[in-house]
Structure 1
Amino acid sequence: MEAKKRSMMAGSAVAAGALLLTTVVSGCGGSSGGNTSNSGAASGSKSQGPVTISMIYDFAGKEFPKAGNEVQRAIEKYTNTKLNIQALPSTTYAQKIPVMVASGDLPDVIAGDPHAQGSSWLLNAIQQGQFWDLTPYIKQYPKLFNINPVILKNAEVNGHLYGLPRVRPLARNVTFVRADWLKNLGLQVPKTLNQYLDMLRKFTHDDPDKDGKNDTFGASVTTAFATTVDSFAVAFGAPNNWEVVNGKFIKDVDTPQYLQGLEFEKKMYDEHLVNSDSAVIQRPQWEGYFFDGKAGSIGNTSNTGDAYLASLKQNNPKAEITAFSALKAPNGKIRVPAGPGYNGELMFPKSSVKTEAQLKQILDFFEKLDERPMANLLAYGIEGKDYTVKNGKAVINPNSDYMDTVGYPYRYTLGVVDPTTYAIPAANLSAIDKLTNKLVEENDKYAVVDPTYTLTSPTYQQRGAQLDKLLTDANTQFLLGKITVQQWKAQVKKWHEEGGDQIAKEYAEAYAKQQK
């Protein structure tokens, strides 16, 4: 499940420098039966046999590994569990899980995000007491809850934690760029917005691949796969979705800085520095422009660097990439939009996890995943196959199928804390991974947080999708030159009249209660 979408949906079309708040969602799932009928004991006592845990969540990998695979057997053996896992495609999962929650027919573990757009059904279930409140158990699991306090706070509902947030960096969005094109043109990685725009122009007009043809452009962008609070607007000084001023909530589109960012982005469309079909293409075409050597840059989350480089080299073995993230605005400031810092939460229904003893068994399982043997497994895969150990460090096999066998099915779905926190260090991280790790760490200094992550607006839950689409469509039409600034402002006014003002009021009321 994606972390909260509202700070994404209100933004403009993704541009090359836009820091995509996408999260490639990956997951696995459990049997729909869901009862933990096993002979295991509560936390702190001896277990008499494997603890059965059933799970269900969405999975975005190629194909979920078959039951009994080597990785799952290793997890079950170490944690003394039997995992019943069912994987569902994201769309199917999104349709099925609200029905399951309403019926109460749930497994022991589900993935959900109470703050996600349209998740009023999950908030209602929480308020009705259908899920365990984990707040009293945090101190009992020091590894599991070794989480940035900001992220932990973002995952709360009314001051209580109802799930284990699958932690991600707060601002993990970067722009990948063809390093060989930069070299061909004598360019450096951009550090400012103006340098970035200059790079796009030269990628479009100066034959960066040196093939003598006018067949390249600056950046591949899309609105079909993902939209975002415009990172350009945030860079210019706009809020990350909302800001609080003297207790009142101000929407990003109501600030002059937001329009500055939108107009900056429009230059890319006006000068044909990006693909004009951004409003209609899907992910394969969007990424394909970059992989095929047509576009010189693309924005995505930091963990996609190795995969992007591999896809590029299939078409051009000499291709190289680098990356950048935060760009300095003309006013000299550096700002990037922060996400919530997690990719959905692992939640425990009381209809299946009926006792505190059962809950502690499951929390024990997740705590054990942070012990070194399991951290090594989730971080690097099977020793001897996906990596070897030399001088106390993991030497990663670049030819392993780790992402398909471990990463997507287990690491990004079961891992709460980043497993590299507790694993042995890696000896041979790729250059692009080292760079992107450094970039997201630096981004923490510049991250602008959305203050509504921990707040609830009934109007937004009911009508947020429609209202967000109104702004997203207006942004897209403006970028493509189909409406004027005045017409764009008229759509913003319509947003206010059709529910935006009420949402702002509800956030202010919730914020006031939270402060007390």
Structure 2
Amino acid sequence: MNKRNQKTLVKAGALLTTVALVLTACGGKDEAAPKGNGDAGVNQGPLQLTMMLPTYNAEQMPADSSVLKSLEEKTNSKLTISWVPSSTYSDKLSATVASGELPKTFVALEPKASNIVNAARSGMFWEVGPYLKSYPNLSKMSDIVLKNVSIDGKIYGVYRERDLARFGLMIRQDWLANLGLQAPKNVDELYTVLKSFATGDPDKNGKQDTIGLAVGMQGNNIAGFKDILVYMGGPNEWELKDGKLVPAHMTTAYLDTMKFYKKLYDEKIINQDFALVQDGRAVMNKGQAGLWIDNMLDGRNIEDSIKKVYPNAKINLINRISGPKGEKTRAGAGYLGMYVIPKTSVKTEAELKQILAYFDKVSEKDNQNLMKYGIEGKQYTIENGSYKPNQDPKIKAEITDGNQFMIMQDQVVNYGSELEKLSTKLFQDNATIAIANPAAPFISNTEIEKGKELSKIIADATVKFIMGAITEADWKMTVDKWQQSGGSKVIEEFNAEYAKVAK
């Protein structure tokens, strides 16, 4: 397996030690790779490849798409695609896996879903981990992400790459300028800036009608909370302490983060209706707040939205906030689904290698950009260095859901705005300070079964604490309830899995 990311992520601290330990169990240096190389299948004629993919658009990519034809030529393949609406994809996949009548490859959007885990354990899918190092592009896959998609320490698919650490601050640069403030560099300065945004009339309208931080709910999660938790020295979902995995909400840093948010709430620095707001970006888009914390790709759209109300608004991006443990940020999953190869449809190692060779070719620079933008001169043109998409509906349709074919995205050309280019740069910088979730490689059957119920117990109590509806003593009772409701079993199961690779 590739060791590139271990070098960049070593700064993230002790939590990443887990990854190194796990990697050893996942076909390490002493495990011989299967015979053959990444060129397997090149001279065997076009690969006949059936696949099932989710579509996020009302109209599918046409079968005679010029972009699809170009991809087939470049990868020496003939692709037969079964498109399934994303809204019904999970149900369709479950039924397809249960039937055993599978295409040669399909995207598992949730690799740790119980039906995928059970199928992998039953031997339904090829284990591809030992083969990856034989392919020039697939061998560059992140060790961190490979472990995130692993099942019992084995890799059963080729993940679809996403930036490992996208999170950061989107801040009103014009408000900072109006108040004569510098961008915050640590948690204390962050509070000072937020307080000033709420009380210092940053929009210069003579009214105290602004707030510092826009907050809303993302499912059970408070937007930005997990990021502030890491800034304040807390873990990313789970903490590895004294050789044991501990859930984030059982750490001192989690309690400190709740107290920080309660202070923001009590001082009206955040929107008081945050528990009812489904998308905190709406508060930001109206020009009412000075800061939003989430995926920094949101920056351009937020700035564009605010400019419709306040034409002189300007958003800046910040990815480094220092706390008790220095500059840290949280790593995400680093993928969006993975391609799985069923043994019931692909019966020989030779055909498996041919499919992996296809995925490797899809990850070449030209093909990455082909499936992102289409064919230059047809789907788009470059005029004076600027990207101009073709607005003809028929031409645009030929690149519909093209990104569903993509594996690696590390060589995609960024034709975006200055904010989008900055976000790409900061994503790369984030990777050097990102804290991984040390429990991500492992599976808890109890968590699969009761995870939503258990997370709701903690999420509801977190909101209530911030709003002053419960005390610290009540919070401790909630944690006890979580443990008694199955949380203790989750901790036990994750630690049992960790113990297998920590020896």
Q: TM-score, normalised by structure 1?
A: 0.80
Q: 2:387 aligns with which of 388, 397, 421?
A: 397
Q: What are the Cα deviations for residues 51-101 of structure 1, in whole angstroms up to 9, with x where unaligned?
A: 3432223x4467654444443343233334343444445442233322322
The within-5 A match list for 1:94-493 is 94-112=90-108, 116=112, 119-225=113-219, 227=221, 230-283=226-279, 286-329=280-323, 331=324, 333-384=326-377, 385-388=379-382, 395-397=385-387, 409-411=401-403, 413-420=404-411, 430-493=417-480
Alignment check: 8 A CA contact 1:380 1:396 kept:
no
1:435, 1:184 → 2: CA distance? 23
Q: Secondary structure at the match of 2:276?
A: coil
1:398, 1:188 → 2: CA distance? 36
Range that drifts further, 188-197 or 300-309: 300-309
Q: 1:495 aligns with which of 482, 495, 500?
A: 482
1:293, 1:67 → 2: CA distance? 44
Q: What are the Cα deviations for residues 170-205 of structure 1, in whole angstroms up to 9, with x where unaligned?
A: 221122122222222222221111222222222223
Alignment check: 8 A CA contact 2:170 2:318 kept:
yes
How far did 1:290 drift? 1.9
Q: Secondary structure at the match of 1:275?
A: coil
How far did 1:471 drift? 0.8
2:91, 2:349 → 1: CA distance? 30
Going from structure 1 to structure 2, the CA distance change for 1:502 and 1:150 (only over 3 Å counts) comes to same
Going from structure 1 to structure 2, the CA distance change for 1:366 and 1:338 (only over 3 Å counts) comes to same
Kindly provide the amino acid, as one letter, of the partner of residue 190 in structure 1. P
Range that drifts further, 292-301 or 120-129: 292-301
Alignment check: 8 A CA contact 1:55 1:83 kept:
no
How far did 1:109 drift? 2.7
Kindly provide the amino acid, as one letter, of the partner of residue 41 in structure 2. S
Going from structure 1 to structure 2, the CA distance change for 1:250 and 1:406 (only over 3 Å counts) comes to farther
Unaligned runs of 5+ in 1: 1-40
Kindly provide the amino acid, as one letter, of the partner of residue 432 in structure 1. L
Aligned match of 1:36? none
The within-5 A match list for 1:6-17 is none
Q: What are the Cα deviations for residues 138-186 of structure 1, in whole angstroms up to 9, with x where unaligned?
A: 1232212312222223322222111112222322112212222222222
1:125, 1:473 → 2: CA distance? 34
Q: Secondary structure at the match of 1:509?
A: helix
Q: Secondary structure at the match of 2:212?
A: coil
Kindly provide the amino acid, as one letter, of the partner of residue 427 in structure 2. V
1:505, 1:309 → 2: CA distance? 46
Going from structure 1 to structure 2, the CA distance change for 1:455 and 1:332 (only over 3 Å counts) comes to closer
Alignment check: 8 A CA contact 2:65 2:398 kept:
no
Going from structure 1 to structure 2, the CA distance change for 1:277 and 1:130 (only over 3 Å counts) comes to farther
Aligned residues: 459
How far did 1:468 drift? 1.2
Going from structure 1 to structure 2, the CA distance change for 1:62 and 1:91 (only over 3 Å counts) comes to closer
1:470, 1:132 → 2: CA distance? 38
Q: Secondary structure at the match of 2:317?
A: strand
Aligned match of 1:56? 53
2:303, 2:69 → 1: CA distance? 32
How far did 1:435 drift? 2.3
1:86, 1:215 → 2: CA distance? 52
1:210, 1:406 → 2: CA distance? 48
1:87, 1:213 → 2: CA distance? 53
Kindly provide the amino acid, as one letter, of the partner of residue 464 in structure 2. Q
Q: What are the Cα deviations for residues 456-502 of structure 1, in whole angstroms up to 9, with x where unaligned?
A: 22211221221111111111111222212211111111111121212
Kindly provide the amino acid, as one letter, of the partner of residue 408 in structure 2. V
Alignment check: 8 A CA contact 1:176 1:322 kept:
yes
Going from structure 1 to structure 2, the CA distance change for 1:266 and 1:73 (only over 3 Å counts) comes to farther
Kindly provide the amino acid, as one letter, of the partner of residue 135 in structure 1. G
Range that drifts further, 452-461 or 336-345: 336-345
Alignment check: 8 A CA contact 1:470 1:495 kept:
yes
2:182, 2:82 → 1: CA distance? 47
Going from structure 1 to structure 2, the CA distance change for 1:292 and 1:139 (only over 3 Å counts) comes to same
1:225, 1:305 → 2: CA distance? 21
Alignment check: 8 A CA contact 1:337 1:449 kept:
yes
Kindly provide the amino acid, as one letter, of the partner of residue 486 in structure 1. A
1:54, 1:179 → 2: CA distance? 46
Kindly provide the amino acid, as one letter, of the partner of residue 124 in structure 1. N
Going from structure 1 to structure 2, the CA distance change for 1:67 and 1:484 (only over 3 Å counts) comes to farther
Superposition RMSD in Å: 3.0
Aligned match of 2:6? none
Q: Secondary structure at the match of 2:300?
A: helix
The within-5 A match list for 1:37-52 is 43-47=41-45, 49=46, 51-52=48-49
1:401, 1:446 → 2: CA distance? 40
1:382, 1:312 → 2: CA distance? 33
Alignment check: 8 A CA contact 1:279 1:476 kept:
yes
Q: What are the Cα deviations for residues 404-450 of structure 1, in whole angstroms up to 9, with x where unaligned?
A: 86998223x32222242xx5x65x65321232223222223322221
Percent identity, aligned pairs only?
A: 34
Kindly provide the amino acid, as one letter, of the partner of residue 104 in structure 1. G
1:356, 1:509 → 2: CA distance? 33
1:484, 1:141 → 2: CA distance? 56
How far did 1:114 drift? 5.8
Q: Secondary structure at the match of 2:231?
A: helix
2:282, 2:391 → 1: CA distance? 22
1:218, 1:105 → 2: CA distance? 54
Range that drifts further, 245-254 or 460-469: 245-254
Unaligned runs of 5+ in 2: 1-38
